[in-house]
Amino acid sequence: MKSVVEHLSDLVRIPSVSRLSNRPVIDYVRAELEPAGWHFREHVYKDAAGAEKVNLIAAPPEADPHQTTADLALVCHTDTVPVAESWKRATDPFVQDGHLYGCGACDVKGYLAFILTAALAPETQPIQPGVCIVLSADEEVGCIGTSRLMEAGSIHPRRVLIGEPTSLQPARAGKGYCLAEATVFGKEAHSAHPQQGASAIYAAMDLIAEIRSIAAALESDTNDFFSPGFTTINVGTIRGGTAKNIVAGQCSFQLEWRPLPSQPHDTVAQRVRDAASLLEQKWNGSIRCEIHVTRTQPGFETPADAELVRSLEAMSGKSATAIPFGSEAPYFATDAEEVVVFGPGDMR
């Protein structure tokens, strides 16, 4: 049988950035598990660019392949983030100082390699019918594959173990992830006569200043289990204007926030919209603001005394923690009783 390193090396050699089809990864997993009697259900769709994407549910030999309920689902996404052209060995893995390097080795092909190795190990006890493996597509671009699976009712697990790099420390809670595009519309004019226009860039600066105030206010609503223990807001990109001597007629910026599980995911969006309305009044109607929310993913939190949490703490020897990054956990948390994020590697 293959070792973890051999499986991981094979998987890293398969390019699987989100813009590509994940079919080669799915085919690799099927080729490894099928001889051992595993059963499969595929859910295929096309992404916006027409690339084939596949969600796979794999059930052990004694299980009913059409069963939608499961006691434990091992969930792993199959896509990776983009790769810089300068990284010549992205899909040419190598081991150095005890670490395997390559695109996706950490996030999250390492977890998938462990699953395959454990499932096929000769010393492994027969895997119970209540266990299944769920491989998803397009996690890195919005958890699209998992969202489709859950909307279709294709799987209803009681417990879920989601693979992400947590340094093998069980994470029973995580913040949500939300994204919005804010656009401020003004009026163009020659910069020699600015009074004839309304600068969208200046107005956007005013709105961003209000967003900083909103962020500061949110720091008073804390949960010490997280670090940082409050909802964070970030303005990641900004663009606007057409030329150095033209009063900007339009300015847009991307806004993201990561809400605590206890906080409604739309709280920030509503506060920003309220601030935008007040700004329009302040500018006497000469500017207009649009806030378009493109992603709303709530947080999740599994109780500390949940069986899956306690089992993983005992096996790993590490206390449960919370993760500050996004994962597929919130999508399963609406249906499952217990959800934990766990895997090799460090997100940093």
Residues taking part in catalysis:
79, 139
Q: Which tokens belong to 55?
A: 């969600």
Contact 301, 173 (CB under 8 A): yes
Cα distance between residue 170 and residue 322, in whole Å: 8
Q: Which tokens belong to 268?
A: 């920030």
Among candidate residues 68, 42, 66, the one with its CA nearest the CA of residue 55: 42
Cα distance between residue 189 and residue 326, in whole Å: 42
Query: What's the full length of the chain, in residues?
Result: 348
Q: Which tokens belong to 246?
A: 């033209």
Residue 284 falls in which region: left (phi positive, over 0), alpha (psi -120 to 50) or beta: left
Q: Which tokens belong to 271?
A: 């506060």
In one-letter notation, the amino acid at residue 80 is T
Chain position carrying tokens 């990641």: 236
Contact 71, 159 (CB under 8 A): yes
Strand partners, 181: 254, 292
Q: How many CA atoms lie within 13 A of 160 on its CB side?
A: 31
Chain position carrying tokens 């939300």: 178
Cα distance between residue 286 and residue 207, in whole Å: 14
**Bridge-based pairing state of the strands 232-240 and 250-258:** antiparallel
